[in-house]
Amino acid sequence: MSLISLALYIFEALAGAAALGILLVRNVFHAALLLIVCLISLAGVFVIYNAEFIAVTQILVYAGGVLVLIVFGIMLSSRIAGKPLVVTNQYVLPASLAGILSAGILIKLFSEQPFAQQPGALPGNPMNQTGIALMRDYVLPFEIAGILLLIALIGAAVTASSFYSKKQ
Amino acid sequence: MEHTLILSSILFAAGLMTVIVKRNAIMVLIGIELMLNAANLNLVFFNRNNPALSGHFFALFVIVVAVCEAAVGLAIVLRVYKYYQTSIPDQLTELKD
Amino acid sequence: MQNLLSYLIFTPFAAALIGLLIPAEAKKTFRIATLIVSAIQFIILIAIIGNTTPQLGSFQLMEKYNWFSIDLGNWGILKAEYFLGIDGLGFSMIALSVLVMLIASISSWTIDKNVKGYFILLWILNGAIIGTFCALDFLLFYLFFEFMLLPMYFLIGIWGGPRREYASIKFLLYTLLGSILILIVLIALVISVQAPESGDTVVHTFNLLHMSDSANFIFGSILSPDDAWLIGSHTARWWAFLLLFVGFVIKLPAVPLHTWLPDAHVEAPTPISVILAALLLKVGAYGLLRIAYPIFPDAAVELSSVVAFIGVLSIIYAALNALAAKDLKRLIAYSSVSHMGFVLLGLASLTVEGVAGAVYQMFSHGLISAMLFLIAGVLYDRTHDRLINNYSGLASRMPMFFVFVLIAFFASLGLPGFSGFIAELMVLLGALASGSTNELISEGFAFAAAFGLILGAAYYLWTLQRMFFGPFHVKNEIRTELLTDLDKREFGMLISLALVILIFGIFPHVLLDYINPFAQNFADTITESIRLIQNP
Amino acid sequence: MGLYYTMPELILAGGIILIVLIGFFLRNKTTNLHGLLTLAIFTASVGYAIFAWSFYKTPMMLFGNMIRTDQFSAYFRILADVAAGLTVLMALRNKSLAEKFNSEFYTFLTGAVLGSHLLMMSTNLVMVFISLELLSISSYILAGYSFNKKGAEGSLKYFLFGSAASAIMLYGFSILFGITGTLEFTSENFTNNLSVNQSMLVVVAAIMAFAGFLYKIAAAPMHVWSPDVYEGSPMPVIAFLSVVPKLAGIVVLTKMAMAFAVTTVPFDWQLVLAIIAMLSIGIGNLSALWQNNAKRMMAYSSIAQSGFLLIGVVCLTPQSMQAFLFYSALYLAANYVVFISLQAFEKNSINSIPSFGGAGRSFLFLSIVLLGGLISLSGIPPTGGFTSKLFVFASLWASYEQTGKSILLWLLLFGLLNTVISLFYYLKIPYYAFLKTPESSLLPENTSFENFLAFLLVVGVLFFFIRPDFLMGWLNTINFVL
């Protein structure tokens, strides 16, 4: 077992454990921390699969952006400080059934599926290629993503601003 | 290499269960992030030998979208919290048949 | 003079449009306008009589314009036409419509609530009814057929009696159920039929005349007579006829689908009752004659015993109900159901006499039922009470009214000299003849129907005895001073109806000249197409 | 080169930025300028699409096979712009929308329209995902625009259901990518690889992928969000949500189903979609019967209408696609008639169905116009709704005759039966308006603009009953490359 595949196993185990942990913990803040663990482990997995750019984005955007947002959300929406935000579970039986079934079916089908053998290998310098292709083949989604971000930012501001308004 | 797909299945199932089980909007959001990451893992994994890097680009855009969703979603959660003093969807009962 | 039928249909529609512009306060204007509309229609009717020959074996005054024609790729072209025309059946129906509409318009003068809305709806209804009787394109027919629905719903629902909401909803639901059944067949037909002029691309047409010709069915399509699709143990054509039959019989109505009718009649205002009984019921019968029978003659013959049975069942069951009715209007409503049973019986016999009798019955029942409902309305207008047991000895108090009641009741129970007698006699003869000629229905049905006539005599005479004979007496807070005799308007309406009924009772050939060629043609075509279907 | 073909989208994108900038300079001013500007943007977009109609005759792959322009999508882009323009007209007459974040409202509206345009043209899963999200995220924000308790709740439910559905959809996309190795789902590479590697996994992935679209069109069983969202949102937003995302979702669903139909995947798509259509029609109609709130009733009505729209996809024949195009236009018109009138009634604080009692007397014209819209939605003559249902059913029957699949016959009968059931609730409002007496008398507010607008649409609806060939003849010339 090479060092790289050992690292892959460790990252994957960490990510899986963190995901299951989110399911089990009852404190939302703990869940958010576990999500960080899961996301960072996944970033490690991405690096091993030669997707360095995705990994960097994953850490910067998710850990830096989404999680800060979530933690903000937890802090702003929990009752008076000091009490942790604890959630109870509902529909435990049907949900576990759905979860186990979907995982089981997916794993079984994945193991039977011969995935298309894609010819060729990744380009030597993926980061460079990524930059070029982003401005060439993917220029349309790239532009749309820009508009999407603009709309989401204004939208979040509009939606949350009424939080501070005195009316209603 | 199958273990990566097993992980993605587990992430997806855990996300789905979180969405159904947890009675808090923020927890549901976390579950959705898990599902998005399961898809991302798939996309990167399936792109191992693809010189076109389409899976990588898809994953990149998924991350961007996830950020937008999280920002808008949390803003909505905050607003709901202001009116109801709770972020538990089941306790919102203004709209009923 | 080519577009007479269009003028007839669109005069009331145009009036409705103009009526929108008249302010709602001008009640008198509306009352006069409705007379003008009827007068114009009357003049057009006279022009139609002048421009047609009585031997209407085939269609006359045809108007045909392309409505739309849509190219749907390899499926073919979907073509609908604005296609009008009348034969003996259509002529007698539009004549009846114009007459009854005139009476209903005069009768509507008593309406005092929201006059503008009332008359606009009435005009829409008027145009739609005449349109139904003229349309020779199935889609156009269906359009007019549906167009009658909502005005009627609102006319009962807004201007009706105390339980008007229940009655109007019940009317709407029954009729809608019927029109959905018809719609199913309409779609199946337009898929199965091609116009004879279609060359390489199939032209799917709504033309009723093309649909009535078995040669126009696309081979292998669902309703094609040569390659039968089986649904259950019957052909698709059998089912299609059954759907059409049920759809139209709801409107007719026949037992057991008649239950909406007594409620609707009891709640509807007098003029609407008149239109409902005299015209709307005829639309159901007309649909059977114009659509169900000519298009599916094979299935019609197969089911003729069922049709006859339902006809006789309606005659007897509704007569028994009428015997038990306490409300005068309910009694008349059940008598309508009973008399419409004769139309079914005559139709089921498929003999020339039977069919002609059925059409004559449609015409004569239109006039008689209009008169009966006017009579019920006269009483209701005065006392707001229609319970039979609350009156007795009215003959001495309202002698002129009593005379018209006598005429109407005797006409309805089929006394010789009135038009109802001719119609019912012909139907019975046709039903009897069927046993010896085409052997479609047994003579038993004719005897049972005759028994129904006796029941009819019984409930009318009993009602006369209870309400009009004996010493004058009213119950339940009915103020006797309200019971005045007929005024001029009522007298005018009743006398004209009575005269028309008498004329058509004494000189039946006036109308039979129009009806007989139609009936002959109808019976011949059906026999011929059955022969063609069986040995192509 | 590609820019000529995507000029409407460029106009919209530029418009978004323009509205944001103008909104920035006119902060805190109540003005109609934003609305009128947005209207101009949509008009320009429609105008260009009509002007350049012949451009779209031959399908063009653009932007590295990301999108394809053709007349099929161009038609729906025009419909989306028209719907959005009508929404702007409604919003201009809505006082509560003018009070708060007025310019932002139009930003999100334009964003949603841009998303729907791109979604309809997408041929690449990346584009499908990102434009769907642009549409969805804009809609989530719009749904909360009434800025009250109900609005916030509806918006949250919409958001939670929507993001979960799009995450599931994305997972399906990722599996499809794994199996085929390409994201261009209309390419031969994609369909060939699916046929070669067929297994249950393809079926599971496709079901997951379809879930997102079914959610967008509010088809059963992904419909639960819609009544809550409708009840909490402002009227212009509901009108928009009930038309544009629905049409965009079905258009892209059609393209996906087309891609799957040419493969040999061992799965009966017609059966599944037919059952979904039946479920939507049935659940929508039966639930609508019990509603006492006009908005909730219309929510269930639009669930049922998705079922009818889906019939076009179920058959996937050129004839059924034409019926679908026709149905969409008439659905749009009738739906806007209803919502414009409902907004006018809402202004006079008539919200619940019993409060319509006697409205026929105080608002005669508006009530008649509303009746016209409702009749067209239910599909009885003399409205274009009847003609469109007739086309849909006829195409269903034709395809039943062709394939002999009994599920199609059941769908047909079920749809016809439901046409009757739907009349119960569609006629509920007119029933109260015309047959009941008013509960209380209030001073009517001026509704002349709404009267005029709804009247124009009703005239259109009636016109297409009398001359359906005007529209259908034009639809005939559309080249169906899916």
- Could you tell me the residue ranges of all domains in chain A? 1-90, 125-168
C388 touches chain D (CB under 8 A): no
Six token digits for residue A15: 């990510």
Chain D residues close to B15, C-beta within 8 Å: 167
Nearest-CA neighbor of C464 among C420, C384, C402?
A: C402
The SS3 of residue C208 is helix
Judge whether D255 lies within some domain.
no
Position D106 scores a pLDDT of 93
- pLDDT at A166 (0 to 100): 45
**Three-state SS at C207:** strand
Q: Judge whether D102 lies within some domain.
A: no
**Which residues of B fall within a CB distance of 8 Å from D175?**
42
Neighbours of C508 (CB within 10 A): 20
Tell which residue, D381, D301, D294, has the closest CA to residue D341.
Answer: D294
* Amino acid, single-letter form, for residue C436: S
Q: Is B83–D155 a contact, with Cβ atoms under 8 angstroms apart?
A: no
List of chain D residues whose C-beta atoms are within 8 Å of the C-beta of residue B65: 129-130, 133
Of all residues in chain C, what percent carry a pLDDT higher than 90? Answer: 40
State the nearest Cα–Cα gap between A5 and chain B, in angstroms: 10
Chain A interface includes B41 (CB < 8 A): yes
Domain with residues B2-91, CATH architecture: Orthogonal Bundle (1.10)
Q: With contacts defined as CB-CB under 8 Å, which chain D residues touch C168?
A: 435
For the ranges B2-6, B45-49, D20-24, D443-447, which has the lowest average pLDDT? D443-447
Q: What is the mean pLDDT of each run of 10 residues along chain C (536 residues)?
A: 87 91 86 92 91 77 86 80 90 93 90 87 94 93 88 88 86 86 87 81 88 84 76 85 93 88 90 91 92 90 90 93 91 92 91 92 93 91 86 86 92 89 91 81 88 91 89 78 85 92 90 89 85 73
Nearest CB to A105; choose among D127, D180, D204? D204
State how far the Cα of C148 lies from the Cα of C143, in Å rounded to an integer: 9
Interface check for B91 against chain A (CB to CB < 8 A): the answer is: no
Q: What's the distance, CA D326 to chain centroid?
A: 13
Residue A125 in contact with partner chain B when CB distance is under 8 A: no
A167: pLDDT strictly greater than 70? no
Sequence-distant (6+) residues with CB within 8 A of C359 are C88, C89, C92, C289, C515, C518, C519
Put simply, the chain C residues between 74 and 113 with a CB less than 8 A from any chain D CB are 74-75, 78
Tell me whether A160 touches chain D (CB under 8 Å).
Answer: no
For residue D137, which residues of chain A lie inside 8 Å, CB to CB? Answer: 148, 151-152, 155
Closest by Cα among D242, D36, D45, D44 to D142:
D242
C-beta atoms surrounding C173 within 10 Å = 14
| Mean pLDDT, all residues of chain C | 88
Residue A117 has pLDDT above 80, yes or no: no
Contact D236, D38 (CB under 8 A): no
- Beta carbons of D469 and C146 less than 8 Å apart: no
d(CA A106, CA B9): 6
Would you tell me how many other CB atoms lie within 10 Å of the CB of residue A128? 10
The tokens for C269 are 């205002």
- Contacting subunits of A (3+ beta carbon pairs below 8 A): B, D
Phi, psi of A53 (to 5 degrees): -65, -40
For residue D257, the number of C-alpha atoms closer than 13 Å in the C-beta half-sphere is: 26
Strands (E), A2-158: none
Single-letter amino acid, residue D479: N
Confidence tier at A78 by pLDDT (50, 70, 90): low
B7/A contact by beta carbon, under 8 A: yes
Question: Which pairing describes strands C391-392 and C473-474: parallel, antiparallel, or unpaired?
Answer: antiparallel
Q: Which chains touch B (3 or more CB pairs under 8 A)?
A: A, D
Q: What is the pLDDT of residue D90?
A: 92
Give the burial class of C21: count Cβ atoms within 10 A of its Cβ; 0-12 exposed, 13-18 middle, 19 or more buried.
exposed
Residue D205 domain flag: no
- Distance from C-alpha of C332 to C-alpha of C463, rounded to nearest angstrom: 11
DSSP, collapsed to helix, strand or coil, labels residue D222 as: coil
The sheet carrying C60-71 orders its strands as: C60-71, C77-86, C203-205
Contact B39 D148 (CB under 8 A): no
- Please report which residue ranges of C350-437 form alpha helices under DSSP H: 352-383, 394-397, 399-413, 419-436
Both ends of chain A: CA-CA distance in Å?
63
Nearest to A113 by CA among B62, D199, D38: D199
Query: Taking each helix axis from N to C terminus, what angle separates B25-46 and A3-24, rounded to the nearest 10 degrees?
Result: 160
CA distance B56 to chain A (A): 7
User: Nearest-CA distance from D106 to chain A in Å?
Assistant: 11
Whether B75 sits inside 8 A of A160 (CB atoms) is yes
Question: Which one, of B63, B29, B18, lies nearest residue B44 by Cα?
Answer: B63
d(CA A82, CA D112) in angstroms, rounded, equals 41
Which of residues B37 and C231 earns the better pLDDT score? B37
Angle at C74 between CA C72 and CA C79, to 5 degrees: 40
Handedness of CA C363, C365, C368, C370 (dihedral sign): negative
> Two tokens at C408?
């109407």
Please report the pLDDT score of residue B14 as a whole number.
Answer: 93
| Model pLDDT for residues D410-420, shown as the tens digit of each residue | 898 899 888 88
Contacts of C224 in chain D (CB under 8 A): none
- Residues pairing with C84 in the sheet: C63, C135
Which residue positions in chain D have pLDDT lower than 70? Answer: 1-2, 28-30, 439-443, 481-482
Q: Does D187 touch chain A (CB under 8 A)?
A: no
Q: At what angle do helices D188-196 and D149-180 cross, to 10 degrees?
A: 70
pLDDT at A119 over 70: no
Please give, rounded to a whole number of angstroms, the shortest distance from the CA of D189 to a CA of chain B: 14
Is any Cβ of chain B less than 8 angstroms from the Cβ of A106?
yes
For C113, the 3-state DSSP assignment is coil
Supply the pLDDT for residue D1. Answer: 58
**Amino acid at residue number D33:** L
**A163 pLDDT more than 50:** no
User: Of C160, C165, C172, whose CA–CA distance to D436 is shortest?
Assistant: C165
Give chain D's radius of gyration (CA, Å): 21
Which helix (H) or strand (E) is C58 found in, with range? Answer: none
Using alpha carbons only, how large is chain B's radius of gyration in Å? 17
Give the per-residue pLDDT at A126.
Answer: 66
Q: Do B11 and A19 form a contact (C-beta atoms < 8 A)? A: yes
pLDDT at A164: 46
Chain C neighbors (3+ CB pairs < 8 Å)? D
pLDDT band at B94 (very low <50, low <70, confident <90, very high): low
How far is residue C357's CA from residue C289's CA, in Å, rounded to a whole number?
A: 13
Tell me the pLDDT tens digit for each residue of C68-90.
888 777 778 888 899 999 988 99
- H or E stretch including C66? strand C60-71
Residues within 8 A of B (CB atoms), A 27-56 only: 28, 31-32, 35, 38-39, 42, 45-46, 49-51, 53-54
Does residue D292 belong to any structural domain of this protein? yes
Confidence band (pLDDT; 50, 70, 90) for B95? low
- D412 membership: H or E segment, kind and range: helix D406-426
- How many residues comprise chain D? 482
Whether residue D174 lies within 8 A of chain A, CB to CB, comes out as no
A146 pLDDT more than 90: yes
**Distance from B69 to chain D by nearest Cα, in Å?**
7
Prior bond of C253 cis (ω within 30°): yes
Confidence (pLDDT) at D365: 86
Q: Are C78 and C51 in contact (CB under 8 A)?
A: no
CB nearest A147 (choices: D13, D67, D197)? D13
| CB distance A87 to B91 below 8 Å | no
Interface of B with A in 15-34 (CB under 8 A): 15-18, 20-24, 26-27, 29-31, 33-34
Query: How many domains, chain D?
Result: 1
Partner residue facing A148 (CB), from B18, B44, B65: B65
Taking the C-alpha atoms of residue D251 and residue D257, their distance in angstroms, rounded to an integer, is 10
- Distance to chain B for D63, nearest Cα, Å: 14
Helix (H) or strand (E) holding C109: none
- Chain B interface disruption, residue of D100, D104, D153, most B CBs within 10 A: D153
Label the pairing between strands C60-71 and C77-86: antiparallel
Nearest-Cα distance to chain B for D72, in Å, is 26
> By residue range, what is the domain housing residue D325?
269-482
Q: Is the dihedral of CA A135, A138, A144, A149 positive or negative?
A: negative
Integer-rounded Cα radius of gyration of chain C:
23
The CATH T-level fold of domain A1-90 is Four Helix Bundle (Hemerythrin (Met), subunit A) (1.20.120)
**Domains in chain B: boundaries:** 2-91
D156, D183, D193, D303: which to substitute to probe chain B, counting the most B Cβ within 10 Å? D156
| Residues D346, B63: Cα–Cα separation, whole Å | 41
pLDDT tens digit sequence for C242-294: 999 999 999 888 888 889 999 999 899 999 999 999 999 999 999 999 999 99
Rounded to 10 degrees, what is the CA torsion of A121, A125, A15, A108? -10
How far apart CA D429 and CA D421 sit, in angstroms, is 15
In angstroms, the separation between the Cα of residue C74 and the nearest Cα of chain D is 8
By the CB < 8 Å criterion, does C507 face chain D? no
Give me the residue from D108, D130, D147 closest to A144, CB to CB: D130
> Which residues make Cβ contacts (< 8 Å) with residue C418, sequence separation at least 6?
C364, C368, C407, C410, C411, C501, C502, C505
pLDDT at residue A63 tops 80: no
The partner residue sitting opposite A147, judged by closest CB among D16, D126, D144, is D16
CB C90 within 8 A of CB C133: yes
β partners of residue C231: C234
Contact: D130, A141; criterion CB under 8 Å: yes
H or E element at residue D263: none
